[in-house]
Structure 1
Amino acid sequence: MTDPNDLDVRPAFSPSAAATARGVMALTCERVAATLASYELRVLPATVAQWEAGSERPNEAELLALAKSLVVPVAQLMGGRPENLQDHRIAAGLTRPAICKIIRMKEIGYTRLERANKWRADEERTGFLVRALGLSMRDLVEVSGAAEELETLLAEAVVGRWKSQLPDITRVTGLRRKRVGDVVEALSTVFPEGMDVADVPRAAVVERFWGLLGDPVADPGAPGPWLLSGRFA
């Protein structure tokens, strides 16, 4: 029978964080493997060593159990902030059935959205998701699959006519136009007009954009790409 964990992209994982956590607890790979067995997972000590070496990555069930075995938050073993819907859910320590119960959505529908990393739902379910996963506005943009578009829009805005990009940036982020405009205008003063958009340090611009906004808490009712007007199941 096919393992459902192998049907999906493996979650983010930090080999060094796992090795450090095991060292702090003074556990051998053999002991970790034995503890994982108590969660009905057959993992060899050599596999634990491969995870820490970075040559293999645990699947979702293994990662959740590993965090319990090492007595650390799941997010600590994932290294860095989650950037997609699956990793946000796993970082919160929630299985798919658990999150579906919280957001009142059928698992088949939620799974489709998670695999595409394109959250689409009404305000009520989006609110359930935001609270369950502790999402910021930036997180909500990312789990709706709009991060790459926003990155491109910001890169074009800071080296060109930023006002012409403002409607699309507002659409993608769901934020108020004036608030976004003030931040984008400030960013545009950093780069020389006419600079090649290919030379823009996109990741840095995105970080500065959200930083200047104060990394706002997600607003489930904001008119972003995630919001559907009707019911979704």
Structure 2
Amino acid sequence: MAEQPVVTAAPRPYVVRVHRRSAHERQPQHPYPQPQARARPAPQATAPTPPFNAPAARKLRAALGMKPEHVAYGMRSSYGLPYVTPDLVAAWERGAASPTGTELTALAGVLWCSAGELISSPRTLREHRMAQGIAAEDVARAVGLELASYLGMEETGEWRGTDRQAAALATVLDLTLPELTTVTGRETKLGELLRGAVTTRWQAHVRPITRLLALDRHLDRQADRHLDRHLLEDVLQELHADYQGLMAATLTWANGTAATDSGDAGRDFLDGIVDRFWSLVRRPTTY
């Protein structure tokens, strides 16, 4: 059989259709959201600030051989606070502004110190907690309170816990008896009782003050001894004698100016009686 020639058709060209997008056509969305630039956090007018110790911050920075520029850079790069500038650091050190709690923590980290070293003598419950660097959740747990309840006490400055919880609070925040008296809102009542003790019969005020301070449960660690009933009686008797002696001098001085000066001294005595009371409590005993 004779071989037949095989005829093949010429290959057709392969055409790729290209769609040209109109200028008004909507662009396809990217499957993943693009990162957004982080905005500077808005200042919170209601955010509490601890009592900042500006001279201490300046002294610590100088001791490290740092300038405000170095401090600001460290807070920006290591603590995620991009808005901190050398001018802001300088304003803190001048006392023209105070750092927030977050800024204070970052500043302490840059200056290689504790937050407590950058805080002036704390007075409120929140200030004592921040000075110790303890989270509110940890304090509430140690004291036996719900977090919301504890934060409410910090906000209002009104302590509503029991004596047992107050003792736990003193332990976790390392409070002395005078500090505990202040943060639990008992200082005003203590002042009233002390003024009554020096102006009338001091013996009648021993029991109310004992109950107020719960002296059988708390230890004044700064004095390193219990403020027991016997010590309280001695202190009240001495305060009474000092005040009555001051008032007796007023009656014996006939000169009007001298009497006025003594009267002013008596008012000053009563105004500062709480501090006088604690200074006598902490005075070393000789027996």
How does the TM-score come out when normalised to structure 2? 0.64
- Cα separation, partners in 2 of 1:198 and 1:208, compared to 1, 3 Å: closer
Asked if residue 103 in structure 1 is aligned to residue 155 in structure 2, the reply is no
What SS does the aligned partner of 1:56 have?
A: coil
Asked if residue 14 in structure 1 is aligned to residue 53 in structure 2, the reply is yes
What SS does the aligned partner of 1:192 have?
A: helix
Match of 1:73 in 2: 114
Match of 1:227 in 2: none
| Contiguous gaps of at least 5 residues in structure 2 | 1-40, 216-227, 248-262
Instruction: Name the CA distance, whole Å, in 1 between partners of 2:136 and 2:69.
Output: 29
Aligned residues: 212
What SS does the aligned partner of 1:183 have?
A: helix
- The two structures, once aligned, show a CA RMSD in angstroms of 2.6
Give the AA of the match of 1:66.
Answer: L
* Among candidates 149, 163, 166, match of residue 206 of structure 2: 166
Give the AA of the match of 2:268.
Answer: D
Q: How does 1:1-233 map to 2 (within 5 A)?
A: 6-37=45-76, 38-41=78-81, 42-79=83-120, 81-122=121-162, 125-175=165-215, 177-192=229-244, 195=247, 198-200=267-269, 202-203=271-272, 205-214=273-282
Give the AA of the match of 2:107.
Answer: L
Give the AA of the match of 2:49.
Answer: R
Shift of 1:33: 1.5
Instruction: Name the CA distance, whole Å, in 2 between partners of 1:208 and 1:112.
Output: 32
Shift of 1:3: 5.7
Query: Which has the higher relative contact order, 1 or 2, with Cα contacts under 8 A spaced 6 or more apart?
Result: 1
Give the AA of the match of 1:34.
Answer: Y
Runs of 4 or more, structure 1, over 6 Å off, are: none
User: Residue 8 of structure 1 contacts residue 115 of structure 1 at CA under 8 Å; is this kept in 2?
Assistant: no
How does the TM-score come out when normalised to structure 1? 0.78
Bigger radius of gyration: 2
Q: Give the structure with the larger helix fraction.
A: 1
Shift of 1:117: 2.1
| Contiguous gaps of at least 5 residues in structure 1 | 216-233
Cα deviation per residue 1:102-156 (whole Å; 9 max; x = unaligned)?
4343221111111222223245543432222111111211110111232333234
